Amino acid sequence: MVERLGTLRELRDALAARAISSQQLVAQALERAVAGKSLHHYVGLRSKAALAEAAATDARRASGAARSPLDGVPIAIKDNMVQRGEATTCASRILEGFVSPYDSGVVEKLAAAGLIVIGRTNMDEFAMGSSTEHSIYGSAHNPWDLERTPGGSSGGSAGAVAFGSVPAALGSDTGGSIRQPAACCGVVGLKPTYGRVSRWGLVAFASSLDQIGPLARTTEDCALLLQVIAGHDRRDSTSLPEPVPDYTAALTGDVSDLVIGIPVEYFNAEGVDPEVLRCVRTAVVELEKAGAKTREVSLPHLRYAIATYYLLATAEASSNLARYDGVRYGRRAQDVRDLHELYRKTRSEGFGAEVKRRILLGTFVLSSGYYDAYYRKAQQVRTLLRRDFEEAFRSCNIIATPTAPEVAFRLGEKSDDPLTMYLSDVYTVSVNLAGIPGISLPCGFAHGMPVGLQLLGRALEEAVLLRTADAYQRRSDWHTRTPPEVA
């Protein structure tokens, strides 16, 4: 088996010291990805293009013209972020054959820093799912236990980082799709503040909730990657015109000035695994030992978060996916008699069961006679949830919770019960509804599988969030654990 790659910082330092070339690193990443192909983490590799870009990197470094300290480091992106001349399918049959004519905002930023995309990672179709089982490429597997899900919808990105084929990857988070797979795979996953990272070129699921973020082995690596991709993009109307702070400079290890809020609703919820709670509580104690104070806070409208999320997300999904009609781009049904049959047959053949389910739910929510009862009411509850967080943050700097109510479940275990699957995101969806940043980091093991600690912060205070997460990782070694090699 090809050796797993090190962390982003380790590879950066090795390149700077000329202990290894970018071509060697990219070749190792590609070989490792191919060696783990049974895990289904990737849906496509850029072998020839990535090696050519690595050769260009080595030439730049030799002439002293590196684009950034990360120039030449391999990385992966989720299959819903477009890249010029490359396929983007969102793991959906309806986008088979689509090749993007332009780069997404994040891909532009990666290229500007010299990072090399080696491939696209597996995902739930159109990012709709919590297990990466809803993919035309087949289910992705958790490297800690091949019979279990890596989480979703960014399960391919989380799994690739845990397996060690790349030091870091990009995912998208609409209701927990970075943080939940990070918890399942024992890596770090950060959902930035809504608008902190450009959504230009991210194929939309729910536009008011989607956000791109990094997955990596350490908090420091997440900070390094966020530094690259954050910033204003005038092409994205929701992008925030705010300066980007130095995230790595914030990693001081000092949390003595911080108060961590413990929300009673998260820790007293039904259905959470007691072993998961034990790991999370132990992690909070470690932060107290590091100097942070804790206090109880309340988020009284949290019990409505799942219902609110699935009303709003499906409504936006039904609107966003209306463009896939077989006329403008993507797969087109054949042997049809009229335009109506073209639309119907294209969508029937092109969309999977979960995507169809959410489109139908969203169309119903937005339909005449139900708009006020469901969609408008959900928007009002969303406002209440946002105010709950604002009130809680008056008395604390950070909120600590479990990332997920249980460890990674077995593949197929929840496939026939969508409502149970939706509850996998019970601890994460409220963060997207409020638009605030959240991070998941490894904090132990339960039943032999990784457990995630979720930390939440005020809008645009990723630096405080990263400082807290880094302080915990300085006092623990869970992030250094690696899964067994695949036979």
Q: Which helix (H) or strand (E) holds 310?
A: helix 305-320
Q: How many CB atoms lie within 10 A of CB 135?
A: 26
Q: Dihedral of CA 38/42/44/47: which sign?
A: negative
Radius of gyration of the chain (CA): 21
Q: How far apart are CA 124 and CA 138, in angstroms?
A: 10
Q: Please state the three-class secondary structure of 60-105 as a single string.
A: HHHCCCCCCCCCCCEEEEECCECCCCCECCCCCHHHCCCECCCCCH
Q: How far apart are CA 344 and CA 324, in angstroms?
A: 11
| 78 belongs to the catalytic site | yes
| 289 belongs to the catalytic site | no
| 153 belongs to the catalytic site | yes
Q: Which helix (H) or strand (E) holds 463?
A: helix 462-474
Q: Which of 21, 22, 78, 131 is catalytic?
A: 78
87 forms beta bridges with 99
Q: How far apart are CA 7 and CA 216, in angstroms?
A: 8
Q: How far apart are CA 138 and CA 398, in angstroms?
A: 38
Q: How far apart are CA 431 and CA 400, in angstroms?
A: 12
**Contact by Cβ (8 Å): 439, 225:** no
Length of the chain, please?
A: 487
**Contact by Cβ (8 Å): 453, 402:** yes
Q: Which helix (H) or strand (E) holds 42?
A: strand 42-45
Q: Which of 104, 131, 153, 154 is catalytic?
A: 153
Exposure class string for 417-437: b at 16+ Cβ within 10 A, else e:
ebeebbbbbbbbbbbbbbbbb
Q: Which of 22, 92, 139, 177 is catalytic?
A: 177
Q: How far apart are CA 399 and CA 479, in angstroms?
A: 20
Q: CA of 119: how far to CAs of 144, 241, 278, 461, in Å?
A: 22, 30, 37, 31
Q: How far apart are CA 40 and CA 121, in angstroms?
A: 8
Give the catalytic positions in this structure.
78, 153, 177
